[in-house]
Amino acid sequence: MSTLEAGDLKSARTRLLVAPKLMRRLHRRLGTTGMAAAGFVLLVAIAAVLAPLVAPYRPNTEDFLAVNATPSGAHLLGTDELGRDMLSRLIWGARTSLLGPAIVVGVATGIAVPLAAISAWFGGTVDLVISRVLDLIFAFPGLLLAILVVALYGPGLLPCAIALAIAYMPLIARVVRSGLMRERNKAYVSALDVQGVSAFAACARHLVPNVSSIIWAQVTVSFGYALVDLAALSFLGLNIQPPTADWGVMVNNETALLDGHPLQVLYPCLVIVLCVTSIAYIGNRLAGDEQGARR
Amino acid sequence: MSPLLEVEHLRVQLPVGGELRSVIRDVDLTLEPGEVLAMVGESGSGKSMTARAIMGLLPPGAEVGGRIAFDGADLSAASSRQLRELRLRRIGMIFQDPRAAINPVHRIGDFLTEVLVRELGVPRSDAMKRAEGVLQEVRIRDPEHCLHQYPHELSGGMLQRVMIAAVLLSEPDLILADEPTTALDVTTQAEVIALLSDLRRARELAMVFITHDLELAAAISDRIAVMYAGSVVETVAAAEALTRPLHPYTEALLESRPDIAVRLDVIPQISGRPIAAYEVDAGCPFHPRCRYAEEQCSLTPPKTALVGTGLVMCHRAQERLGGLHISGEQNSLADGLGAQAG
Amino acid sequence: MTPIPEAPRDREDLAVVAQSLRKSFDTQRRRQGQPALLAVDDVSFAIARGGSLGIVGESGSGKTTIARMLTGLVRPSGGTIAVAGRDRSHPARGSAERRRRGHELQMVFQDPYTSLDPRQRVVGCLDEALRLHTELGSKDRVERIRELLEHVGLDERHARSLPRELSGGQRQRVAIARALAGAPVVIVLDEAVSALDVSIQAQVLNLLNRLRAETGVAYVFISHNLAVVRQVCDDVLVLQHGRVVESGAVDEVLDRPQHEYTRRLLASIPTVGWDPHSVSGRADVTSRIS
């Protein structure tokens, strides 16, 4: 074993990961099914980002010669009642459909984790006040909040996402807080306190990283919920508006159903279900891992 | 008289991360009716796992080899139903942390009578009377009041008495006590030990007493089995273990215990750390830490043999018994001064 | 026994001076209309620089509360604490003072399994303490970490280990190294060897004695084990129900115990020919805890 060098201080802090090691670690945490699920979600995400390159058509290119076409070489998944390519619409639709939940989860965890950390670190009255406020927000149904926001600011992705983020935040904060509380009572945290490490540094460098699997589990589960909720809002016409390609908008297509083209609704449904179950599975694995580690 | 408990060539392996790891390598024990055997060892030596193997309480996936016989019946051939029956009526177990072993939402009376009423069909009022009786037997003052209390209202020492009472209720022949006083204060420990030694005499109980404390073991038991890395390295009469330890490990354990009577400049210490059973390679498991080790100790595993009055697993036991003991003690001080790292 | 000075704040030659320390945990009991429960009741002591004081008692004696008051994890209800002549009876104001207090007094905890951050490698843990309490550059810090590891009997290959890759004894060595990192005036050791196996315990006790001789650090050694206290302490306080029942030089107290409770503690230690029935003075065999 080589001797200790200055570089060790840095690597000990940043813990750079090498790719094959990361894959092995991921496999250990997620299992084969989890890796497949993660692969699928990653594929959809890449397709969404690279939509202009990978989608065969623009989402709103209408082809009146091939209206309600069945799957063929030109249109792999067929077309809708305006002759728009279903596959291309699904790929373009992934952009808003995944961006929405990403905003929801990002904003919600961004608020929830610091709140949970403050709550757990200071405890006492601070904890009590934060917990009560969270309960209050939690009691308010998320979809209703979204409808209210839309009534105020008009339909659109951002108002809906922010409204859902506020609704999801208390749940994430509560779960993370209880994880942090357990961590707070461990002796190493007292040791940091005795050393004179600041509350912020102790939380950011030690406490929060040690509950990262709890946070990741919450992130994934919330992502799945947000995907469904935003699709529902699209379905209700409060979120993304037609003719923009969005999975929720695509599900909201009664003419296709009435005209006897159920596949046009089934495809977006299937994609939503696959995404949500994949993400939920990953979340479960992460949460289960946490429990396993505790044993 | 046939032995109450016989353990022959017990081997246990547990699955750890996809592979089987040895936790008990080869354990032989016998226990006569009414006898108390103490099993002494450090953490990971396999003493608790041996007790669990006897109770049939090993974690799922465990591979067990060898033979365990209770009162002549082979337990390895017993069905889970028979094992349950045995645990219900004939073998009791006391754990280290009574607070973890007693359901906190039940009153003491309900905890004590649950098995009697549910499993053995004793009428509730009779069961309560019997519970009161055993509480008296474990010297709880005002047992009637105690029956109506919740576990959190009792101190650790009181709860351990309740645990002992619960075990006594099923009138077992054998009690397995796994570090029953480790979590208690020293004065409380003395009381519980006094209680246990009185009870075993009054009820002619056989007991396997597991502890890491050799002196405590000597105070309660008739014989002591010292375990190291999944093997019994020495089995000897309790009094002998403290005054004439035969295995180098037993001797080193005794020396490294902080002395209450004098302050030493350097406490004799065993260098290195205790190893786990699966880490044992060729030779004697203790040889890397042993001050008497010579070449053969690292090459061939020693056999357990009768040396003097005890069974010892050491190549050099016979030789040490014949006089080398004294020079060994001198060595130990030099070792203590020399070895600091671990 | 180091006498308690009149004006502790001027006495920089004393590592720790505690005067009339009191702690009551009374919120719940007061709500129930009961009198306050004193966990620590009028405890005073002084420790010279490089000295070692044992605080002995059973569970509920208040010994851990005293440790936590010294470290600032618990605020005293009354009395004063001074470390190296500086008062710390009040919570620290500002991060600089927090750091300075951490620099003067360090703590080693009982359970080596929870006292280290499970995600932090040994070198990261020591480096964090050094960056907090010293002005050393990264090269000097590496040198100092090497020194610290050697001091506590670990070798460099342990530096990159995570806590879970170390044994209990090795973790406790890391905790001791972390406590030593900023060269503190005093280290509070709260049952620091109780969770260790006997053979490892002796190693750590020898280590503690050697470190005190070499660095001149003072110890507050909290323990329930009188034999361990005899090996590492100069003075001892015997606590019962939050009060000091006996104090003095270790040899004096253990060889000629004056108080009934000290005698009982001594009689409870199993030795050759020990009879548990000899532990007398049992007054509280009731099914109620007060």
Q: C177-205, pLDDT tens digit by residue?
A: 999 998 999 999 999 998 888 888 998 99
Please judge whether B186 and C269 are an interchain contact, meaning their C-beta atoms are less than 8 angstroms apart: yes
For A185, the closest chain C residue by CA position comes to C114
* Alpha helical stretches, state H, A15-156: 19-49, 51-54, 86-122, 124-138, 142-153
- The CATH code of the domain at A28-52+80-294 is 1.10.3720.10
Confidence of residue A9 (pLDDT cuts 50, 70, 90): low
Most confident stretch, A165-174, B76-85, C92-101: A165-174
> Where do the domains of chain A lie?
28-52+80-294
Mean pLDDT lowest among B21-30, B228-237, B258-267, C26-35? C26-35
Using the beta-carbon criterion (under 8 Å), do C287 and B149 form an inter-chain contact?
A: yes
What confidence tier does C8 reach under pLDDT thresholds 50, 70, 90? low
Q: Would an 8 Å CB–CB cutoff place A9 in contact with chain C? A: yes
Q: Which of B21, B8, B19, B1 is nearest to B76 (CA)?
A: B8
Q: Is the pLDDT of residue C30 over 70?
A: no
Chain C residues whose CB is inside 8 A of the B191 CB are 276, 279, 282, 285
User: In which element (H, E) is residue A220 found?
Assistant: helix A212-235
Put simply, the answer to whether A191 touches C128 (Cβ < 8 Å) is: no
What residues of chain B lie within 8 A of the CB of C228, using their CB?
A: 258
- Token duo for residue C142: 């590496």
Indicate the pLDDT class of residue A19, thresholds 50, 70 and 90. low
What is the dihedral sign for C-alpha A232, A235, A239, A243?
Answer: positive
Dig out the tokens for C223 from the structure: 């323990």
Give chain C's contact residues with A (Cβ, < 8 Å). Answer: 71-73, 92, 95, 98-103, 105-107, 109-111, 114-121, 123-124, 127-129, 132-133, 138-139, 141-142, 145-146, 156-157, 159-160, 175, 178, 182
List chain C domain ranges: 8-278
Supply the pLDDT for residue C17: 92
Q: To the nearest whole percent, how much of chain C has pLDDT over 90?
A: 50
**What pLDDT is recorded for position C226?**
92
d(CA C183, CA C197): 28
- Pick from C101, C116, C121: CB nearest A196: C101
Q: Which residues 99-158 of chain B have a CB within 8 Å of chain C?
A: 139-143, 145-146, 149, 153-156, 158
Contacts of A9 in chain C (CB under 8 A): 123-124, 127, 138, 141-142
CB-CB neighbors (< 8 A) of A198 in chain C: 95, 98
Q: Which amino acid is at B115?
A: V
pLDDT at residue C290 is higher than 50: no
Instruction: Read off the pLDDT band of A264 (50, 70, 90).
Output: confident
- Each residue of A217-251: pLDDT tens digit? 889 888 888 888 888 888 787 777 777 778 877 87
The average confidence (pLDDT) of chain A is: 82
pLDDT at C284: 41
- Mean pLDDT within B104-113: 91
Residue bearing tokens 């009185």:
B198
pLDDT tens per residue, range A78-132: 777 777 888 888 888 888 888 889 999 999 999 999 999 999 999 889 999 999 9
| Residue whose pair of structure tokens reads 């509360």 in the numeric block | C65
When the candidates are 3.40.462.10, 3.40.50.12160, 3.30.479.20, 3.40.50.300, the CATH number that belongs to C8-278 is 3.40.50.300
Each residue of C86-108: pLDDT tens digit? 888 888 888 888 888 888 999 99
Pick the more confident residue, A137 or B1.
Answer: A137
**Alpha-carbon separation of residue C269 from B160, B180, B182, B303, C265 (angstroms):** 19, 16, 13, 35, 7
Please indicate whether, in this complex, the C-beta atoms of C287 and B143 are within 8 angstroms of each other. Answer: yes
Q: Buried (b) or exposed (e) across A193-231, using 16+ Cβ within 10 A?
A: bbbbbebeebbebbbbbbbebbbbbbbbbbbbbbbebbb
Closest residue in B to C172 (Cα) is B342
Q: Which of A4, A205, A210 sits opposite C159 (nearest CB)?
A: A4
Note whether ipTM > 0.85 here: no
Which pLDDT score, from 0 to 100, does residue B196 have? 93
* Choice among A58-62, B25-29, B320-324, C170-174 with the minimum mean pLDDT: B320-324
Task: Tell me the average pLDDT across A43-56.
Answer: 84
Query: Which subunits have 3 or more CB–CB pairs within 8 Å of chain A?
Result: C
The whole-angstrom separation of Cα B233 and Cα B248 is 9
Instruction: Give the pLDDT confidence of B168-188 residue by residue, as tens digits.
Output: 998 899 999 999 998 888 889
Q: Do C274 and B219 touch (CB under 8 A)?
A: yes
Dist CA A213 CA A183 (whole Å): 13
